[in-house]
Structure formats: C-alpha cells, structure tokens
Amino acid sequence: MILIEGIAASPGIAIGKTLLKKEENIEINKENITENEIENELEKLHSALDDAKESLEELRQDTAEKLGDEKAEIFAAHLMILDDPEVIPAFENKIKDDKLNAAAAVKSVVDQYAAMFAAMDDEYLRERGSDIKDVGMRVIKNLLGVNTISDQIEDNVVIIAEDLTPSDTAQLDTDKVLAFLTKEGSRTSHSAIMARSLGIPAVVGLGTELLEKAENGIEIIVDGNSGKIYFEPDQTTLDDYKVKLADYEAELERLLSYKDQKAASKDGYEVEVVGNMGNLADVDPILENGGEGVGLFRSEFLYMDRDQLPTEEEQFEVYKEVAEKMGERPVVIRTLDVGGDKDIPYLDFPAEMNPFLGYRAIRVCLERDDIFKPQLRALLRASNYGNLKIMFPMISSVRELLAAKSKLAEVKTELEKEGHKFNQNIEVGMMIEIPAAVMIADHLAKEVDFFSIGTNDLIQYTVAVDRTNEKIAKMHTPYHPAVLRLIKQTISAAHEAGIWVGMCGEAAGDELLLPFLLGAGLDEFSMSAVSILKIKEILSQWEKSEAESEVAEILALSTVAEVKDYLTKLKK
Ligand code: PEP
Ligand code: MG
C-alpha cells in the first residue's frame, strides 16, 4: 500500500481503479512528405480542423447545459484558436514549405506557441499556452484517429493526470468517473472548481510522487475530505474505507431531510444558512443542498478567464439570472474583490511586494469608475428581479465606505434619469475582514444595513499569516482567541446599531465553531454548498441559550489548542 497526501479539492470518498492519463506522447510517424502529397495533407488538415470545431461546438453546448455558460466559455476560446488568422496559415505553411505531414505540422506549430507561452511569467498567459496545446492535441488525435480520454473510460475509474484541462474535465462522465487526481493544481485551479461543481471528489497538487507511484488499472482509495490517496490499499484500510464510504453516502442521504427545513436551533431560534458562489453553475448545488439564499457571490469570478472587463450588460444578465433563480431568497453580491491572490491579468496591475496589503478590492474600485460604475449599474438594474443586496469588500475606514456609498448614490441618480427601474431601498452591506474595521465597527454600522465577516482575510490580517502559504497553513485558524474576540466584537457592534450580521468566510461552515457563532448571535451563515446541510443539522441540536452560555467560557481560553479542545468536547 502506498499513501500520498495532496490538497483536498473536492469532498467525498471513492474506491475504484486507476486510469492514467499520461501526457500524450503520440507517435507521429513518417513526418516528411513529398511534393505530390502536399494537397492530400492539406485536405486531411482541414478535415481534422472541421472535426475539431464540430466536437468543440458540441462540447461548448453540452457544458453550457451541464455547468452553465461561463464554464462553457473556455471552449469558445478554443474555437477561436482554430479560427485564428495566424494559426491556420502557420499549419499550412509547415506542410507546404517544410514538407511535414499534417500531424507533424500541427505539432510543430503548437509546440512553438506553447513554448512561447510557457516561458511567460504571467500565470494567465501560461494557461493560454495549455489551451493551445489542448486544441492542438485534439486536431492531432483527429488526424491520427486516436481516441480521447472519454473513449477509454470504463466504469468506476479514478482519473490520474498531470493536470486536467477544462475540456478533459467537462467531458468526464460522472456516472463512470468516481474521482480525479492531479499532480498539479490548487483548490482554485480550473479543474478543482469544476470537480466541486460536478460533485465528484478530487485531490490535487499531489506532486511528482503521484505519477511515479501510479500504475494503470490498480486499486485506489481517494479521500477527498482529507486529501489522502492510497494505491493498492491493504485489506484493513480497504475495509475501513468501505465503511467510511457507506457512512458518507448514508450521511448525505440522511442530511437531505434538512433540505427543506428552516435553519433554526433546537428551540426554534431562526438564523439563515446560505451559500457562497463564484459563478452561475454554483446556484443549483446551493438550492439542492437546502441553501436559503446566497450570502456571498464573489463577483470577481465573472472577470476572470477572459481578456477584457465584462460589460454592464453581461453582468446584468448574470446577476438577473441568479436573482430570478433564487426568487425571494436573499442574494448578497459582493462588488469586485480583485487583488491579493486573485489576479485579473488584463487589468495589468504592476506586481507588488505585498499584494494582500496592496492595491485591491474597494481601493481599486474607488479609483476606477470605468470598473466600478458598470458593476453598480448592473447590480441595481438586476435588483428588479429578485432580492439582491450589495456588499463592499475590504473596507478599512469610514471614508472608504462613504465613498463607495456615494458612488452608488451617483449611479442611482443616473439610472433614474435614464428611466431604469431598480430597488431604491436595496440593502447595502460591507465585509468585515480587516481588524481596523472591527475596531470601528460601531461607526461603520451606522452606515450600512448589514455586516458579513470574512474570516479568511480577517484571520490573515489579525494573525499576520498569509492565507495562501502552505508552510504556515496551521496558523490560519479561526480558533485563535484573538479572532474569536474580533468576531464577538463585530456581532455586538452590529446588534447595538440594530443591523444584522453574517459570516461568509470558511469559518461559517466550521462544524466545531457553530455553537460559538450561534451563541454569539450570528444571524447568517454563508458557506460552500457541500457544508449547508450538516450545519443545519448541528444548529438543530443546540438550544440558543445553551450556546450562549458557552460563549464567555470560550472567549476566556488563551490558546488555539485549548479552544479546539473545548469545542471538540462540545460536539454533540
Ligand atoms: C473572506 O475573506 O473571508 C472572504 C469571504 O472573502 P475571500 O475569501 O473572497 O477573500
Ligand atoms: Mg476576503
């Protein structure tokens, strides 16, 4: 048995057989052709290009239906590569001038482009390099009559790959593919995001060990909850995991009974349990898991994977669709939170020494009407179609909040003049994710309708721990007594000012922390769809007053370990 650990990117457990998707080293024989063969090779090339376009168009439509328009955009980009006025003649010239056969011609051009992009510092452009490779491989496979990965898949397989391209991921048949593992990637890589949307377990960032140790067709266990994978597990581990898998499935089934139940404590104290989303495909899972709305729509995802700003109209369509799908349920849309680890390459911001402390989020928006105003206009116009609320990220001072509100007022006046309808009384809130904001929460609370605590950043700024650095990942914990005090302080300040307060950082879905948050008076808990049902269940096991009586005890503890211990003992 071999155990390897990686990054748990999508939860769940799978027991199956490995299917290795090795970097395709397709042999291209007899590369050189004679003068007489040129015409024939050009014909073959164009027919392979047409086939590739046809299958990409099918994929685009399929993906749009299964995962939403946004996820399908990548294939539109691939189609564009095949229509590129430079690329096609480059293929043809390799055949005509260098006398390469069609497959070798495509490979030579694609390798050239891919190498050029791979050498770039910019992550976005490097990704474009893999798009070109992806498209090129599709054409070459057509030329050589080689099957794609989806053709080789038998039942119950776990795909193992260096990295999966979005087209590979979208083509996976989830009836047959139990899970996937990649050498590269992070929780926010394309394929990880897709895995969560598809609802299959995934472990990524497994490193070179993965491909060294993996063999085709051997038994494997994937634990998407812990990030552990076991090749050829011994009988005890296998038996253990069979039980774990059955338990996990039974647990999911059992938790469904909370789907339509109002989130409330044992004694009927109601709170809201809602979902976090990044794009349209995340809406259905939130509803299927009993989410009572959206507590955080990270709008920046609309700005990624493209090469220019989304227009007001494009944004309006997306916000409107979410609002309509959610009906009366609340939907909190956060304005653009670019910067930190969320780079938007086409905005061309210079590299910074400390990007998390730098030019990001509201700081950018307040300086860039060309970015901020179209978004505010789109949000307001969409407010006509559902229960939308607007939230500003990274507020560190009253000045920033007032400036953001004044932009919103300006946009309202413009829309009114233009005769647009929108919700004049749309709720406006702000993220509490900077300790400075907690310290002046009483002032800030006078200016907004709600707060939402962003623990991911609040922890980072409070404990001075980079949230993306795996070396110090253990320090990034909501159990730090300082973080707990800041949370309590924020909730109290909000309630004193008569506004509601939610939490949309990962801590909102933390099972151990729930009694503390309930007792401290949190009104809304926003988390990824997969956590919603469990949190609803734990809530239903606690009486509000019982949770309240624990708060002072927890706040008196002095170390992370003590807090964790204490919370673990409270577990029901
Ligand atoms: C947070 O900081 O807790 C948060 C919810 O925002 P993000 O993770 O997008 O920075
Ligand atoms: Mg944040």
* Average pLDDT across the chain, whole number: 90
The ligand minimizing its distance to the Cα of 483 is 1
Residues 314-329 have pLDDT tens digits of 999 999 999 999 999 9
**Alpha-carbon dihedral sign for residues 338, 340, 341, 345:** positive
Residue of higher predicted confidence among 44 and 427: 427
Is residue 182 situated within a structural domain? yes
Alpha helix (H) residue ranges in 256-392: 283-288, 312-326, 362-365, 369-382
Task: Work out which ligand 1 atom sits closest to the CA atom of 507.
Answer: 3
Residue of higher predicted confidence among 54 and 447: 447
Is 187 labelled a binding residue? no
Q: Does any ligand 1 atom lie closer than 6 A to the CB of residue 457?
A: yes
Residues 94-128 have pLDDT tens digits of 899 989 988 888 888 888 887 887 777 766 666 67
Is residue 205 situated within a structural domain? yes
Q: Which residues are catalytic, by number?
A: 190, 504
**Residues of the domain holding 316:** 270-570
Q: Answer whether residue 391 shows pLDDT above 70.
A: yes
**Residue 248 belongs to domain with CATH number:** 3.50.30.10
Residue 150's pLDDT is: 53
Lowest mean pLDDT among 24-28, 45-49, 373-377, 421-425: 24-28
Looking at the fold, whether 453 and 555 belong to one and the same domain comes out as yes
Neighbour count for residue 534 (Cβ, 10 Å): 19
Q: Does any ligand 1 atom lie closer than 6 A to the CB of residue 295?
A: no
Looking at the fold, whether 136 and 53 belong to one and the same domain comes out as yes
Q: Does any ligand 1 atom lie closer than 6 A to the CB of residue 188?
A: no
Q: Answer whether residue 154 shows pLDDT above 90.
A: no
How confident is the model over 66-94, as a mean pLDDT?
Answer: 82
Is 467 labelled a binding residue? yes
Domain termination residue (choose one: 92, 121, 145): 145
Residue of higher predicted confidence among 29 and 482: 482
Is 456 labelled a binding residue? yes
Percent of the chain with pLDDT over 70: 92
Ligand 1, atom 6, lies closest to the CA of 454
Residue of higher predicted confidence among 233 and 339: 233
Residue 155's pLDDT is: 79
Task: Work out which ligand 1 atom sits closest to the CA atom of 504.
Answer: 5
Q: Answer whether residue 10 shows pLDDT above 70.
A: yes
Secondary structure in 3-state letters for 314-346: HHHHHHHHHHHHHCCCEEEEECCCCECCECCHH
Q: Does any ligand 1 atom lie closer than 6 A to the CB of residue 407?
A: no
Looking at the fold, whether 130 and 215 belong to one and the same domain comes out as no
Looking at the fold, whether 17 and 63 belong to one and the same domain comes out as no
Looking at the fold, whether 75 and 208 belong to one and the same domain comes out as no
Q: Does any ligand 1 atom lie closer than 6 A to the CB of residue 460?
A: no
CA distance 358 to 355: 5
Is 138 labelled a binding residue? no
Probe ligand 1: pick from 344, 504, 526, 531, max atoms within 8 Å of CB? 504
Domain termination residue (choose one: 145, 163, 186): 145
- How far away, in angstroms, is 300 Cα from ligand 1 center? 11
Is residue 473 situated within a structural domain? yes
Is residue 30 situated within a structural domain? no
Domain count, the chain: 3
Looking at the fold, whether 229 and 312 belong to one and the same domain comes out as no
Looking at the fold, whether 393 and 473 belong to one and the same domain comes out as yes
Is residue 377 situated within a structural domain? yes
**Residue 118 belongs to domain with CATH number:** 1.10.274.10
Ligand 1, atom 4, lies closest to the CA of 454
SS3 content of the chain, % helix, strand, coil (to 5): 55, 15, 30
Looking at the fold, whether 157 and 140 belong to one and the same domain comes out as no
**Residue 512 belongs to domain with CATH number:** 3.20.20.60
For residue 392, list its beta bridge partners. Answer: 430
Is 343 labelled a binding residue? no
Looking at the fold, whether 236 and 361 belong to one and the same domain comes out as no
Looking at the fold, whether 508 and 535 belong to one and the same domain comes out as yes
Probe ligand 1: pick from 356, 431, 453, 462, max atoms within 8 Å of CB? 431
CA distance 502 to 490: 10
Q: Answer whether residue 520 shows pLDDT above 90.
A: yes
Q: Does any ligand 1 atom lie closer than 6 A to the CB of residue 455?
A: yes
Is residue 132 situated within a structural domain? yes
Is residue 522 situated within a structural domain? yes
Domain termination residue (choose one: 103, 130, 145): 145
Q: Answer whether residue 449 shows pLDDT above 80.
A: yes
- How far away, in angstroms, is 320 Cα from ligand 1 center? 23
Is residue 167 situated within a structural domain? yes
The bridge status of strand 272-277 relative to strand 228-231 is: unpaired
Probe ligand 1: pick from 396, 431, 452, 456, max atoms within 8 Å of CB? 456
Q: Does any ligand 1 atom lie closer than 6 A to the CB of residue 400?
A: no
Neighbour count for residue 354 (Cβ, 10 Å): 8
SS3 of 265, please? Answer: coil
Closest residue by Cα to residue 323 from 385, 406, 380, 371: 385
Task: Work out which ligand 1 atom sits closest to the CA atom of 455.
Answer: 3
The confidence band for 221, taking pLDDT boundaries of 50, 70 and 90, is: very high
CA-CA distances (angstroms) from residue 80 to 55, 87, 154, 446? 14, 10, 32, 50
Is 381 labelled a binding residue? no
Residue 258's pLDDT is: 98
Looking at the fold, whether 237 and 369 belong to one and the same domain comes out as no
Looking at the fold, whether 75 and 216 belong to one and the same domain comes out as no
